[in-house]
Every structure is written in C-alpha cells, then in structure tokens.
Structure 1
Amino acid sequence: MGGAMRGLKLRDARNADKKVVLDFCRNTWPGYGDFIPQVWDRWIRQRRGRFIVAELEGQPVGIAKITDFGYGEIWLEGLRVDPRHRRKGIARAINREVLRTLKLIKPRVARFCTAQSNRASRKIGSQYGFSVIARFRYYWDEPRRGRISGEVVG
C-alpha cells in the first residue's frame, strides 16, 4: 500500500483507452458488470468536468469522472482500478488528482455515492473530508409467478 506507485501517470482519458478500461471494468459487480460501457462515449465527449485515467507503463489501470452540473455542483463517479493493480495506492493517487482539479474548479459542493459495503471508497472519502448525508437500502425481488391483476386501486 503506502504511496502511489512509481511511474503512475494521471492524465485525461482518450478514446484509445476504451478497450483496456472496459475490460478491467467488466466484472465490477458480479452478475451485473458495470455501467461504464454505457457512459464511456458520453464521458469522453463532455467538456465540463474531467475524465481522468491513471496510466502505468503505458496502460490504463484506473479511472475517475468529475461531472460538472453547473451552478457550482460537482458529481464524482466512476472510480475504478484494475483488479490486478488494487491495493497499490492508485485509487488514492486518482483521488488526489480529483481534489487538485476541484481546487481549480472551486465548486460550491461535491458529492459522490457508494455502496455501504464499499469500505475502501468510504474510507478514502472520509479521509478527504466527505461525510455521509444519506443512506439508501437497495431492494430487489423477482415478481411472483401467476396472473397479474388488471385491477386498479385508487
């Protein structure tokens, strides 16, 4: 762990990074995958905010997105590190670059959302001054088999 890896370069994302990044994001959430393939092209085109890549030995090993909604509101999203390079300080280095960028943008507020179970992300967030403002429960259920009633109540 410790500091960022020697030779780690932080830069803006490029179209040429897409294949490598989508490959290491493929199994972010087992059984679901990741939303990065659905947003990649839009993120690359956006001019407000910043799409950051962490590169090691010429290959992308991590990403993060700063989305600027305007009116001083920033949304931080898409922090990912290649599973083969986790626990090496890459997420921390990316977050330092995010904070450096935020100091230039000077937003009124910056927010992010993460799963309660994502201890690493929550820890990094608290170390950089973020606090929990809301908690949500995720619920999923399969519909029961059988006939669906056409009855409307109300």
Structure 2
Amino acid sequence: MINLRRATEQDKESILSISKTIWDGEDYIPLVVDEWIADKEGEFTVAEIDGKVKGFAKFTVLRPEEYWLEGIRVDSKSRGLGIGKEITKYYIDKAKKKGYKSLALSTYIENYESIKIIEKFGFKKTTAFRFFYKSGEINLNLSNIKHFEKATRVEEVKYILNSNEMKASNEYLSFDWTFMKVTEELLEELINEGSVYVLKEDQNIKSTIILSNKKAKGKGLSISYLGGKGYYLDGINFAFSKYLEGGYDWLSFMCPDIQDIKESAYKAGFETFGNYQADVFVYEYV
C-alpha cells in the first residue's frame, strides 16, 4: 500500500538517495530540498511503501488558486507500482479542494512515462517551447552590447500582455522550468525587482527583456520574456552580459515557437538538448 504524507527533515537522506539516480546524478533536487521541506504554503510530498520512501513530488502555490506540480521522482527499483499515478491523483484532488483556477506543470519531451501518466489524468498540452541554455565562460565583446535600461513603470511595458511573443507563449512567462501566466500585477512585481529591461532608440522602446532568478533551481538566470522583432539578438547578448556580471552558474531560455528568436538564440551561442523544434511542454489540468 502506498502512503502519501508531507516530507520532513528525517526524509532528506532518502530523498537525496533517490535523486542521485536521476539524470545521471545531475538532478536539481539537492538544490531545493531544504526550501521544499520548509514550504508550508505548498506541500513537498513523499510516497512510502512499508514505511520506506520510494518517491516524492512538490505541490507549489504560485498565486492564490494557481498551483504548480514539479519534481515527481520515483525510486528506480519501485517503478511500475503506481507511485507516480498516486501522487498525481493526490495533487489533483488537493487542487480541487482548494478551488483551483489553474493547475499546471512542465515536462521534457523525453519524459515519456510522466507524459503518459499526466495525459491519462486529464492534463492537456497547451504550450511548447525550445529549451536553450548556456553555462561556463562566454566570449562576448561587451563594448558591442546595446544599453538596456530598467523599466520603472508598468504602463510603459503593458504592451507585453498583447505582444506576438506573449501570444506564442500562450501568455506564459518562464522562470527556470516554472511557468506563470502574465498579468499586470506580475509585471509590476518584476519591475519592482529590477528584472524588466527596455532598449530605447529616439525615446521609443524597440526591445524588451525580462531577466529573473525567480524559481531558479540554484544560481541560475532565466530569460523570462524577449520581445522586439529585429532586436532579438541584441536582447540575448544583453542577457549574456548580465549573466556574466551576476556570476550566475547558467542562463536558460524557454523560447516560444518564433523562428526569428530561435535563429538569434543559435547565433548567439546558446546550447540545446537533442534535435528538436520544441522540447519543453506545459500541461494544464482541464
């Protein structure tokens, strides 16, 4: 019998032991395990069989009535026992009891078993992105970087809400592998954090970029939004400069299905996994 309960400090060793077998030991769980255990608003859940932890996952509150599922892991020797299904059902029921407006998650294209489970429970793929990343040193001529200044008022960047780039993203802003629906309130929050930048020419805004470490698994920086046709490469190079300036471990970009942006990302030197047009999917429970 599978028993689900909130994770505690005493579960940490078991959680990390399972995590070591994920992604050839490169799993992000060790970077967030303490934060997740301490999260009282959401829930870090472990699945036990005969009193031993065999799996876990995270239920995160993004905003009131907006919930996010992440980090589903099952011990390699316990797969096929229905642990992933039990946790997914548990979280769906939890969201329903809370009167959810949104319940969503993201997954990589090659997570075949997870995709099979979530689709069976009624999650629908609503958006697809191409995952770009960069880590380590970057050969960048800083003298050629165009100057982006911080936006100070939400009114000057409200056009983001109806931009082609936002429509291609199904109104999602990406923060590492977490996605949040864009709102004026979220834009204002990001402006107050100093995360929204604009490129002006003759006092007219030509490009906008949002750079944030919100929801980062470790010391990472995300391009949460990139707008301004004809200026995509300028925005990416500016992001590289902030990545270097901030001493981040990596820069990630969930790129919407816009060919000009993809071509700019490749030209700038971003790296990818696999030979896909899109490889990160957002699923929503409907």
Same fold (TM over 0.5): yes
**Number of the residue aligned with 2:68:** 75
Aligned residue pairs total 146
Amino acid at match of 1:97: Y
Amino acid at match of 2:14: V
Q: Is the 8 A contact 2:67 2:103 kept in 1?
A: yes
Between structures 1 and 2, the one with greater strand share: 2
RMSD value, Cα: 2.2
Unaligned regions of 5+ residues in structure 1, if any? 1-6
Q: Which runs of 4+ in 1 moved over 3 A?
A: 139-145, 147-151
Residues 1:87 and 2:80 are matched in the alignment: yes
Measured at CA, do residues 70 and 88 of structure 1 come closer, stay the same or move farther in structure 2, by a change above 3 Å? same
User: Deviation digits for residues 102-132 of structure 1, max 9, x if unmatched?
Assistant: 1211210011000011111111111122111
For 1:153 and 1:97, locate their aligned partners in 2 and report how far apart those are by CA, in whole Å. 49
Structure 2 unaligned runs (5+)? 147-286
Q: 2:40 maps to which residue? A: 47
Trace 1:49-128 onto structure 2 (pairs within 5 A).
49-128=42-121
The aligned counterpart of 2:242 is none
2:6 corresponds to 1:8: no
Residue 150 and residue 41 in structure 1: after superposition, are their counterparts in 2 closer, same or farther (change >3 A)? closer
* CA deviation string 1:75-126 (max 9, x = no partner): 1001100111111211111111112211211210011000011111111111
Distance 2:37 2:119 in 1: 28
AA aligned to 2:29 is I
Match of 1:152 among 144, 147, 152: 144
20 and 142 in structure 1: CA distance in 2 versus 1, 3 angstrom threshold = closer
- Is the 8 Å Cα contact of residues 9 and 37 (structure 2) preserved in structure 1? yes
Q: Shift of residue 70 of structure 1?
A: 2.3
Q: Report the residue type matching 1:100 in the other structure.
A: D
Could you tell me the TM-score, scaled by structure 1's length?
0.84
